[in-house]
Structure 1
Amino acid sequence: MDELWKKITIVLPKPDDLIEARYLERSAARAFFDLGPIGTGMVYGREYMVARDIIKGLKPGDKVMAKVLESENEEGCVELSLREAGRDLVWLEAEDLMRKKEAVELEVLEANKGGLVLEWKKVKGFLPASQLKTSHYPRVEGGDKDRIFQELKKLEGQKLMVTIITMDPKEDKIIFSEKGAESSDLKELASKYEVGQIIEGEITGVVDFGIFVKLEDGLEGLSHLSELDWSLVQNPHEHFKIGDKIRAKIIGIEAGRVSLSVKALKPDPWVAAGTKYNKGDIIQGRVLRFNKYGALVAIEDGVSGLSHISEFGTADRMREKLEIGKTYPFQITLFEPKERRMTLSYLGEDAKAAEAQKTE
């Protein structure tokens, strides 16, 4: 008996321990295993039935991993489970793959509106659409969910290289990512570029959160919604088309992912605004949108700030007083153009505010 076997068997096993067992024989609905100095292990009852195909394939002397269910049963044997051990080993392997960020090739079983279903070691896992590599990401104008689903269905039956990014054995849950599996290739391609570099490329995708730009074969960059223009861009599809050529500045490179800014090549409107406005000024501002903090208000294209919800009391009152797209009188209460920060106070529709605006 080798030294490793001695080290494993000198420790008395406890329930849930994984131990190595040497197959002896089977009789009726029972299988017996040699556990060395510990004694004899037994698989029987329901555990025997679910593992019978494995047991039938064993020869005397074969070693298997087993999980301890009971340290000593009524017959003086250590009660074992081969099924539970197999399950635990699968999750241990999954944890090892996740830690090492190793990729595995898996077939896509089916698609749903959120992503793809894959199976690894008889455990079904999920690959969210957001974790697909750029060449597989469904680029659908308007973000139509039915069309996105149809694009995802085209991947059914294909084999993808993926990594495990999240796992929960208790919930039988595995989350995969295709981005992690391609990162090494992307890192090599992206290493040719530098932050601050100006690139010119072709728009290969327009999505709700930005645009994809081809830098070279196999490498794309993403210009996020907030980096498309100094003014608020709510629908990229209205401003950009696939196939158009565009210039952008590289503002970030991380793990092979290239971040681009289109607006960085345009004049910063805050520079000019810094010479025109001051704290305390009363101006006309156009309401761009609402969020949980208040109303985003623009005093000119690309120069906007927040009118806090506390100015109105509640969100409902804010929506009663303001309408998106309309212009109202505000007073600048904070103005820091270098930091591109501004807050505004709503003045209402009273005559005093209107008169103040006329004399501006």
Structure 2
Amino acid sequence: MDKVSDGQGAWSMTAAAHPELWAFLAGLEQDQLLSGTIAAIESFGVFVALDDGPAHPVFPGVGFITYPELAWQRFEAVEEVVRVGQRVTCAFLQFDTWNGEARLSLRATRPDPFRAFADGTEVGRVLPGQVTALIPFGAFVRVADGVEGLVPLEELAWTAVEKPEDVLKAGEPVGVVVTGIDRERRRLLLSHRLALPDPARSR
């Protein structure tokens, strides 16, 4: 199997050694839809054996999907989204000339729930949600199917909070207020504090 060293111990396949594969990958266009079968699930991504084109000389499939490109929503295990042997149709992102593979996106073939949410939601709106994860600097809350927002530590309560576990529990329902929507970065900021009665006003 012909490879070329970069002088630092890393290796990449040469185009001359696999002209058929290179010609196939070079002829793909961005956003072109490619169908295939999930060939292998690894800790760094998912390989797809494409229906068209030559097989890969090294990897289980010519197509490759990184974890962020599998789904719009956050997931704990890859098997929640795809399984080996499953048929998929993905959008072509780019030709990875280092590995000789097609970088693909499964989520690009599905509607982005964040865009739909952002179109119908304004800052200041009160929403019901569910705590999905607690992290050192706050908590993630799901406010719609496939849409989660971050509640920063300082927005968990009116009083100072050292750990999110002191205020919330994973899985519990909570009320939150939308404080920021970043469409470009697909980020949603929430406040649990603003959904609670202000102790200063109750005095």
TM over 0.5: yes
> Counterpart in 2 of 1:202?
37
- Confirm or deny that 1:248 pairs with 2:90: yes
- Please report the TM-score for the alignment, with normalisation by the length of structure 2: 0.74
CA–CA distance in structure 2, aligned partners of residues 279 and 311 of structure 1? 15
CA RMSD of aligned residues (A): 2.9
Determine which structure has greater relative contact order: mean sequence separation of CA pairs < 8 Å that are 6+ residues apart, divided by chain length.
2
- Which amino acid counterpart does residue 66 of structure 2 have in structure 1? H
User: Which residue of 2 is the match for residue 297 of structure 1?
Assistant: 141
Q: Structure 1 residue 164: deviation in Å?
A: 5.0
Q: Does 1:307 align with 2:151?
A: yes
Instruction: Give the one of 157, 177, 181 matched to 2:12.
Output: 181
Distance in 2, matches of 1:291 and 1:253, equals 36
State yes or no: 1:267 paired with 2:102: no
Deviations 1:20-72 (A, max 9, x none): xxxxxxxxxxxxxxxxxxxxxxxxxxxxxxxxxxxxxxxxxxxxxxxxxxxxx
CA offsets 1:171-191 (integer angstroms, 9 cap, x no match)? xxxxx33xx332534644421
Map of 1:1-360 to 2, 5 A cutoff? 161=3, 163-164=5-6, 166=8, 176-177=9-10, 180-182=11-13, 184=15, 185=18, 187-215=22-50, 216=53, 217-218=55-56, 220-255=62-97, 256-291=100-135, 293-312=137-156, 317-337=163-183, 339-347=185-193, 350=196, 352=197
Conserved in 2, the CA contact under 8 Å of 1:203 and 1:241? yes
Deviation track 1:114-134 (CA, whole Å, cap 9, x = no partner) reads: xxxxxxxxxxxxxxxxxxxxx
- Greater share of helix: 1
- Alignment partner of 2:82: what SS? coil
Q: How far did 1:204 drift?
A: 0.5
Q: Which has the larger radius of gyration?
A: 1
Calculate the TM-score normalised by the size of structure 1.
0.45
**Amino acid in the other structure paired with 1:202:** T
Gaps of 5+ in 2: 199-203
Provide the rounded CA distance (Å) in 2 between the counterparts of 1:183 and 1:286.
50
Paired residue secondary structure (2:13): helix
**Percent of residue pairs identical:** 24
2: CA distance, partners of 1:252 / 1:245: 21
Tell me how far 1:339 sits from its aligned partner.
Answer: 4.6
- Structure 1, 302-311 or 287-296: larger mean CA deviation: 287-296
**Count of residues in Structure 1 that have an aligned counterpart in Structure 2:** 182
What's the CA shift for 1:249?
Answer: 0.5
Task: Give the aligned residue type for 2:155.
Answer: E
